[in-house]
Amino acid sequence: MNRKSFFRTFFKKFVGFSGNAPDGIFKGKALKFPKKIQNLRKQILTIKGEIAIKNKILLPESVSWIIDTLLEKGYQAYAVGGCVRDCLMGNIPHDWDICTNALPDEVKKIFRGEKIVETGIKHGTVTLIKEHMPFEITTFRSESTYSDNRHPDSVVFEKNVNADLSRRDFTVNAIAYNPYDGFIDLYDGVNDIENRTIKAVGNSDERFKEDALRILRALRFASVLGFTIDEDTSSSVHNNKELLHNIAVERIWTEFCKLLMGKNAVNILRDYVDVISVFMPEIALMVGFDQHNPHHCYDVWEHTLHALSYAESDIVVRLAVLFHDCGKPCTFTTDDNSIGHFYAHAQKSCEMAGQIFSRLKTDNYTKNTVLTLIKYHDRMIEPTEKSVKKAVRKLGNAEVFEKLLKVKSCDVQAQAEPFVQSRLQTLQQILQIYRKSKNDDSLIFSVKNLAINGKDIMALGVKQGKEIGHILNILLESVLDGKIENNRDTLIKKVSEIISN
């Protein structure tokens, strides 16, 4: 039985898959035919339908086909970069990159008849679309100086994979693999993955001066993967942080959002706040700012970080938590008892966050939603139907109200211990009232939920225009205040009264 037939039989009989073997990864020693199948099964780790076995990668069928096709034509070919790193970590790669010594025109010729997109042919990259999936195939290359700290002034195509790996950013991303040569790991990236370390390839300063975005990529990888940053690389990140001024703000925003969504985001923000402050100087004002208030046990920045540690994986919520108190240092006052106060800090925070979003050219939905959450994060909501419905109406969106409660919860959990439980209980009561109201058609949040509409008001003699909206808002306020019921007859009667007056 050949190797391919073995795997097909194995997956069908012992793992429960039929047909072609699923895409997957190997982890550890290269698989050999075992004497006892139970010994093999002990090595299996099922991850979302994929199989991990020690020290060898079972490539997806399309990737194997691309590599084998290039090899059959006499070229070198490897899977490289993040896909290899992810496999070694037991994760499913989002995409697969292949490197080769075949030139772009040669790659196009080899795969004639397939769908090819010339995504970066100047830099040696073509994208092959196979089964609706893109696979980037890039010629081995070395790069010259980076005058703009972002793009190489020129690219030289190479014949050896070693030269290609030497130009990459971090050791964990500088590993190449094919089933015949195994892992090409010149910079001990496998060991760094095992030790959960982000380390620059070669000289850290040179790597960051070549491409300053790598500074943020180091922080992003450490945050998302839960790694620490090598001491030398970390020092270089701090020392070269000003190079970020040379990077397009859109690229910075993309990397920062990925960083913020990482599982290690709080620690990275704490350790590298000086780096983040290069493009968000507003953040620096919070660091070490004592609140002098019994409701708080941390300075403004530590309060923010602790609040962020409770935030779910929602970029809007995390951004709102990050910036919700950024205006506090600018609004700080003390009373006669030396107690600190931050009157109108929400409005100031909203203003400062708005400047950040405008400067970094964020999308309008994210900007507007986050600013709304910041604006109302400290507004009092009583655990009553009337108060909850008014709050939802004020926000204008039930989804935003739900996010506001999450922001409030994060904020409360990072406050002084004596106040936490009672405030969390109040938030829970508010949430329960909201959920009940949301599922009860007799309860309303906006004029859309009223038992009558603009046409009904026009039928009573009111001309089309702003007056109709004005009357609808009066009706809504009356219903929310409990003065009248939300039924057609009562509302029609109320409209008649408004018109007659």
pLDDT of res. 1 = 43
Q: Estimate the crossing angle of helix 315-323 against helix 398-413, to 10 degrees.
A: 50
Sign of CA dihedral 472, 473, 476, 477: negative
Which residues neighbour 53 within 8 Å (Cβ) at sequence distance 6 or greater?
25, 26, 27, 28, 31, 43, 44, 45
Task: Spell out the per-residue pLDDT of the chain, length 501, in tens.
Answer: 444 444 444 444 333 333 343 333 333 333 333 343 333 333 333 333 333 345 688 899 999 999 999 999 999 999 999 999 999 999 999 899 999 999 999 999 999 999 999 888 888 999 999 989 999 999 999 875 666 665 667 788 999 999 999 999 999 999 999 999 999 999 999 999 999 999 999 999 999 999 999 999 999 999 999 999 999 999 999 999 999 999 999 999 999 999 999 999 999 999 999 999 999 999 999 999 999 999 999 999 999 999 999 999 999 999 999 999 999 999 999 999 999 999 999 999 999 999 999 999 999 999 999 999 999 999 999 999 889 988 988 887 889 999 999 999 999 999 999 999 999 999 999 999 999 887 765 556 678 888 999 999 999 999 989 999 999 989 988 887 778 988 999 999 999 999 987
Dist CA 40 CA 197 (whole Å): 30
Report helix, strand or coil for 125.
Answer: strand
Which residues sit opposite 156 in a β-bridge?
142
CATH number of 282-438: 1.10.3210
**Is beta strand 197-198 parallel, antiparallel or unpaired with respect to 182-184?**
unpaired
Length of the chain (residues): 501
3-state secondary structure at position 95: coil
Q: Which two tokens stand for residue 492?
A: 């029609």
pLDDT attached to residue 142: 87
Report the alpha-carbon distance of residue 169 to residue 218 in Å, rounded.
9
Rounded to whole angstroms, how far apart are CA atoms 194 and 185? Answer: 13
Query: In CATH, what number does 197-279 get?
Result: 1.10.110.30
The total of other beta-carbon atoms located within 10 Å of residue 58's CB is: 20
Q: Residue 78: which of 185, 157, 154 has the closest Cα? A: 185
Tokens of 486: 């939300």
Residue 223: Cβ within 10 Å count: 24
Residues 89, 106 contacting (CB under 8 angstroms) = no
Return d(Cα 403, Cα 316) in angstroms, integer. 8
The β-bridge partners of 173 are none
> 59-194 belongs to which homologous superfamily?
Beta Polymerase, domain 2 (3.30.460.10)
**Angstrom distance (rounded) from CA 162 to CA 158:** 9
Distance CA 144, CA 154 (A): 5
Cβ–Cβ under 8 Å, residues 316 and 373: yes
CA 377 – CA 320 distance, rounded (Å): 9
Domain ranges of the chain: 1-58, 59-194, 197-279, 282-438, 447-500
Query: What is the reported pLDDT for 12?
Result: 41
**pTM, to two decimals:** 0.81
pLDDT at 443: 56
Residue 343: φ, ψ to 5°: -65, 135
Q: Output the six-digit token pair for 83.
A: 């896909």
Give me the pLDDT at residue 22, please.
36
Domains 59-194 and 197-279 share a fold: no
